[in-house]
Structure 1
Amino acid sequence: MKPTPDWHYRFQASRGAWLAAAMFVAIFALYIGKHQAGLTVPVVTTAANKGVLLAIVAMAQTLPVLTAGIDLSVGMVFVLANCLASHLVVGSGLQAGLGAVAVLAIGTLCGFINGAIIVYGRLQPIITTLATGTIYFGLALGLRPVPGGDVHAGFAEAVTGTVGGTVPAMLLVLLAVVLLVWLPYRRSTLGRAALAIGSAEGAAYMSGVPIARAKLLAYTLSGLLAAVGGLLLTCVTYSGEASATIGGVYTLNSIAAVVIGGTSLMGGAGSAIGSVFGALVLRTIGDLLFVFDMEPLWQPLFQGVILLLAVSFGSLQLLRMSNRLDIYR
């Protein structure tokens, strides 16, 4: 029998990401075609500024999901980072830079705490991150009882503007996150270990895979990425807000984006690249409802149905699989 070529397995493993990318291109083309301004730099920049926020939070959610876990605190770390940035990313350029580093460090610490409790406390990820998410929101509320604050204007303009007058800076930030965080992680020993854990944790343990370190790194990087998103939100809004609604919506949408992007909720298969496109699909659908003049009261219902279908489709795939290797067939 002729062996199946390697490219076949690679395509099957990433077909969810390719499908999400195709969906995004089709929906965005429809959105641009319907938009009264058409394909202009301001329209694309505005879409990028909104879409990248969810894309980065979806990347944060992807890492624990690959280990067959979940992080229900990503939205609250996102909100906490937003509130922190509104306090710290101010003053001179040096002070703002140090403040941004502090925000990212605190977000990383939040992720590390999640991972440490899950690994060493041996608690379920869904319970752990639900509890820690509540704590992180409480800290955010203590920092910002009411919306307010500020951010370094030069830093915010550099992040939310354009490069060369044509390319949205947010897209370059997203590319930098992919190149500096996701790709090195995916190619690292612990990144491959995360996939092994999600596929079969027992077999991974018997094979000598460093399960504790792999899980700890996944949740730590999840906190870092959620903090990056919160920092960018501050640059977009020029303020901080401790909103449970925002945190909850971003958490829910991040899970939906992961599913749309082709990552298995059972773990062991998927890509943050797919989650990025899944997030962009969700954001563009929201913009599409706006340009089609759908009644505001109906928009949340329509988006909720889409989220339910996305998560249900992912769950249906899990029920149909008798073996994890079915993903690659």
Structure 2
Amino acid sequence: MRALGNALGRHLGLTLAVLLFLLFYGVYNLFHPKGFTTAVLIQNTNESFALVMAAMAQTVPVLAGGLDLSVGAVMTMVNCLASYLLAGSPAAMLGGVLVCLAAGALAGFLNGCVVVYGRLQPIVATLATGAVYLGVALWLRPTPGGAVDQDLAWALTNDLSELADTYGWLDGETAWFQAIAWLPVPLLLMILVVLLVWLPFRETVTGRTVYAVGSSEPAAFMSGLAIDRARLAAFTLAGFLAGIGGLYLAIQTSSGNADVPQAGAYTLNSIAAVVIGGTSLLGGSGGAAGSLVGALVIRAISFNFRIFDVPPLVQPLFEGIVLLAAVSLGAGRVFRVKNRLQLMT
């Protein structure tokens, strides 16, 4: 029991984020006419996926002690690019997916180069590069449009049974498949990104160096760690994750849209999700899994606005109060420690 208490204490921010999500999403489903159904779950995960990817993308530079203000811009740029490439033969679409992910990673790598070799503060560097990426997005799509393969869009925005039926991968009557056929594809994609991208990166030497740089850059330097390589990797991974979000946004909407206000909203909400998920903006502690939950909290709050018909002008006020309370509770650990080194454990 004591071990459990210590574990919860070390991950207080994440614990509070999970509790907040369960509270807000539970209330939403209780008052929704079709609450606790697969249809509602599919709709909600579709609406949450892009923000989840933006939050995870923001997490990695934050862990290294910086902020990436280009996350929304990269997502928007890849969204516009995907609206040209996600059509045609399966091979062509696969190539388009790879090109989009490579474009996101390249944008992140360029961010890292400006920060590392230009020796600029990340918040300044990414503010500038973000404007460039939005310019590219506007050049690609001056007006919303595009043609995304409808089978692909349908399969990836529904449950596993629809995915299997669309491409004829499995016999729908198979007993073991029926047990999981209700699972939303976007939810599974979130889990796969955590398991196949974030966790392996965190366990690498470079991933651990990112944490070390965020905790104390001088100590990391004195330990002989490759600080520049860690920063480059952090921003590159951030661009890759933002690219996944932009790619899915094109699939979800079947179009590309260089929406500048939307890009800014994704960036700001990604920072809020990171903090709610228990990652310190000072760097060195937290993780992308917590940011995933933080993004879901933000979305769950907005879902409740629809149910309770909250006036649009009041929504930012209510959302801000809830987020401020969540961040304040998560920061409460700072006032309970006697030794500041305990914050790094």
Instruction: Give the TM-score band, short-chain normalised.
Output: over 0.9
Where does residue 80 of structure 1 map in the other structure?
A: 77
Does residue 224 of structure 1 match 2:224? no
CA deviation map 1:163-182 (0-9, x unaligned)? 13411000110011001110
| Mapped contact 2:16–2:326 kept (Cα < 8 A) | no
Indicate the residue corresponding to 1:163 in structure 2: 160
Give me the whole-angstrom Cα distance separating, in 1, the residues matched to 2:90 and 2:282.
44
Would you say 1:238 and 2:235 are equivalent positions? no
Match in the other structure for 2:29: 32
Superposition pairs of residues 114-153 of structure 1, within 5 angstroms? 114-153=111-150
The answer as to whether partners of 1:12 and 1:328 remain within 8 angstroms in 2 is no
**1:95 pairs with 2:92:** yes
Please tell me whether the aligned partners of residues 215 and 344 of structure 2 are also in contact (alpha carbons under 8 angstroms): no
In structure 2, how many angstroms separate the alpha carbons of the residues matched to 1:6 and 1:115?
A: 39
Matched, 1:208 2:224: yes
d(CA) in 2 for partners of 1:131, 1:191: 26
Give the Cα–Cα distance (whole angstroms) in 2 for the partners of residues 135 and 313 of structure 1.
37
Superposition deviation, residue 209 in structure 1: 1.1
Does residue 16 (structure 1) correspond to residue 13 (structure 2)? The answer is yes
2-structure distance, mates of 1:8, 1:313: 17
TM-score, length of structure 1 as denominator length: 0.92
Q: Distance in 1 between matches of 2:117 and 2:80?
A: 29
CA contact (8 A) 2:141 2:257 kept: yes
Q: How far has the Cα of 1:16 moved from its partner?
A: 1.6
- Specify whether residues 199 and 323 from structure 1 end up closer, same or farther in structure 2 by C-alpha distance, changes over 3 A only: farther
CA contact (8 A) 2:70 2:126 kept: yes
Instruction: Report Cα offsets for 1:202-260 as digits up to 9, x if no partner.
Output: 01100111101111100000000000000111111111100111100000000000000
Equivalent-residue separation in structure 2 for 1:324 and 1:242 (angstroms)? 44
Contact persistence 2:79–2:256 (CA under 8 A): yes
Deviation at 1:50, TM superposition (A): 1.0
Tell me the TM-score normalized by structure 2. 0.88
After TM superposition, the structure 1 stretch with the greater mean CA deviation from structure 2, 225-234 or 308-317, is 308-317
Identity %: 49
Query: What amino acid does structure 1 have at the position aligned with 2:285?
Result: A
Is residue 75–residue 263 contact of structure 2 (8 Å, CA) maintained in 1?
yes
Q: Number of matched residues?
A: 325
Q: What are structure 2's unaligned runs of at least 5 residues?
A: 162-180
Tell me if structure 1 keeps the 8 A contact 2:12–2:330: no
> Whole-Å Cα distance in 1 between the matches of residues 331 and 119 of structure 2?
25
1:298 and 2:314 aligned: yes
Contact 1:58 1:272 in 2 (8 A): yes
**CA contact under 8 A between 1:198 and 1:266: conserved in structure 2?**
yes
Q: d(CA) in 2 for partners of 1:187 and 1:250? A: 28
Which residue number corresponds to residue 253 of structure 1?
269
Contact 2:16/2:330, CA 8 A, preserved across alignment: no
